[in-house]
Amino acid sequence: MPNLSFKNFLKEIRFPYLLATSVLIIGLIFGGFEIIRITLLDDFDAEAIRNLHFSRGILTAISLLGWIVWTLYEFRKQFLAAIQHQGDQFRRIMNNASEAIIITDKTHTITFWNDAATSMLGWNRKDVVGKKLEDIIKIPVASRFAKRGQQEIELDVNDHEGQILFVALTMTSILDDEGNIEIYTYTMRNLTARAIRQAQMARSERMASLGHMAAGVAHEIGNPLTAISSIIQLLQRKIKDETQLEQLGRVRENINRITRIVRDLVDFSRPKSPEITTMNLNDTINEVIGLLKHDARCRNVQFNMELESNLPPIQAVPDQLYQVFLNFVLNAVDACEGISKPQVTLLSESDDLNVIIQIIDNGSGIPANIKERIFEPFFTTKEVGKGTGLGLSVSHNIISSLGGSIKLESKPGNTCFTVILPAVR
């Protein structure tokens, strides 16, 4: 940033110009007085001549002093204007930078905060300038590395709203002419979108591998399972003993459970591709809630629906989305287990491009370590026999195949799944 100091001001003054103009002024004054003396003062005595010379000296001194003061004033005005121009230019350049730039003095007090820093981190410039950097964001201070050093690291930082951003941070210490640290600069690039893309690519690769594996497992299990199920049904028709029938019933229940797992595996590995039609998600939500109101698991659950009346349609497969929202609502119901007044709320709304559905419950919330894995196939926190760990994974695949996305926000007492799908306008 431009530095206004007396030393720099003196460097800007053109002393040869001052000397030349001063000599010119002296020459003009002395020349004028000499002409007056020769032409008008021949009859004056010596005392009058001395007074004339004295007056000439005073006039010369006053003129020179006035000229020097006026010249210095003009130089100072031009110097300040140049400094102001450089400062404005510096701020424009910094504020138009795409990266967040923060400058602090040697005590780590913020002196500059550009527009990109406001956009990325959420704090306004006026709220942070003059404050300690560590009081605003938790990042390493630049004094921890050597003079004239530069260090780039990648780390997580929290913005004004508490959201975690993954950024590349470059820290630099800048020295003055004497070699002492004068300022520190911090430059941040937001890598969050890149990190999300990399995570999605890694997840897609894992899903592809698991898909191939799931298809093979489903095929190998499905054929003998069908034969076993047929034999059990035949035995149930022939055997009359109640104890044996009860045991066969248990066997058949477990076979049915295996069948459900195999069916989920098939859905996971080879999603169906029936005809896509134009549909309204409000109808799907009403159907799901209409069904679950008669389910024993939902007997004590209060369902709240706030559906946009003129919700735009979407392009999708109705049966698939029925499965998706059935999975979400059942998971919300399970999350409310043990809550005295369980509530599940479904909201629908739209913006210019998308239809947005939210499924909100007042359950215990989802821990951060589970949130990271919740869409992984076969990952479940439910007891054995209550879930296969494929419901949310299949739902995620269906929504992704339609060009949509799923967001999850959770804290104790409030978990919200947000499904976003492209609207048909």
Query: Each residue of 282-291: pLDDT tens digit?
Result: 999 998 888 7
The DSSP call for residue 109 is: B
Which neighbouring-strand residues pair with 361?
344, 415
Least confident of 197-201, 255-259, 390-394: 197-201
Q: Who's near 398: CB < 8 A, 6+ residues apart?
A: 271, 320, 321, 323, 324
Say if residue 178's pLDDT is above 60: yes
Q: What percent of the chain stands above pLDDT 90?
A: 15
Query: Each residue of 309-325: pLDDT tens digit?
Result: 999 999 998 878 988 89
- Contact between 102 and 113 under an 8 Å Cβ cutoff? The reply is yes
Q: Over range 155-183, report the average pLDDT.
A: 82
Distance of alpha carbon 116 from its chain centroid, rounded?
Answer: 12
Say if residue 241's pLDDT is above 80: yes
Query: Each residue of 264-284: pLDDT tens digit?
Result: 666 655 555 567 889 999 999
Least confident of 40-49, 133-142, 174-183: 40-49
pLDDT of residue 203: 64
Least confident of 129-133, 210-214, 414-418: 210-214
Least confident of 115-119, 151-155, 418-422: 151-155
Indicate the SS3 state at residue 369: helix
pLDDT of residue 18: 62
Instruction: Give the residue among 361, 369, 354 at the shortest CA–CA distance from 406.
Output: 354
Residue 352: in which H helix or E strand, if any?
A: none
Q: Does residue 362 or residue 51 have the better pLDDT? A: 362
Name the band, by pLDDT with cuts 50, 70 and 90, for residue 146. Answer: very low
Measured CA to CA, the distance from residue 423 to residue 394 in angstroms comes to 22
Name the band, by pLDDT with cuts 50, 70 and 90, for residue 197. Answer: confident
The dihedral built from the CA positions of residue 161, 164, 169 and 175, taken in this order, carries a sign that is positive
Distance of alpha carbon 182 from its chain centroid, rounded?
Answer: 31
- Contact between 289 and 306 under an 8 Å Cβ cutoff? The reply is no
Q: Does residue 201 or residue 125 have the better pLDDT? A: 125
Measured CA to CA, the distance from residue 163 to residue 117 in angstroms comes to 15
Average model confidence (pLDDT) across the chain: 78
Say if residue 377's pLDDT is above 70: no
Instruction: Give the residue among 220, 306, 225, 271 at the shortest CA–CA distance from 400.
Output: 271
Say if residue 145's pLDDT is above 90: no
Name the band, by pLDDT with cuts 50, 70 and 90, for residue 422. Answer: very high
Say if residue 196's pLDDT is above 80: no
- Contact between 317 and 283 under an 8 Å Cβ cutoff? The reply is no
pLDDT of residue 107: 87
Indicate the SS3 state at residue 385: coil
- Contact between 1 and 90 under an 8 Å Cβ cutoff? The reply is yes
Query: Each residue of 211-229: pLDDT tens digit?
Result: 677 777 777 787 788 888 8
Name the band, by pLDDT with cuts 50, 70 and 90, for residue 147. Answer: very low
Query: Each residue of 106-121: pLDDT tens digit?
Result: 888 999 899 888 988 8
Query: Each residue of 64-112: pLDDT tens digit?
Result: 777 777 777 777 777 777 777 777 777 777 777 788 889 898 888 999 8
pLDDT of residue 211: 67
Q: What percent of the chain stands above pLDDT 70?
A: 75
Residue with structure tokens 């404050």?
131
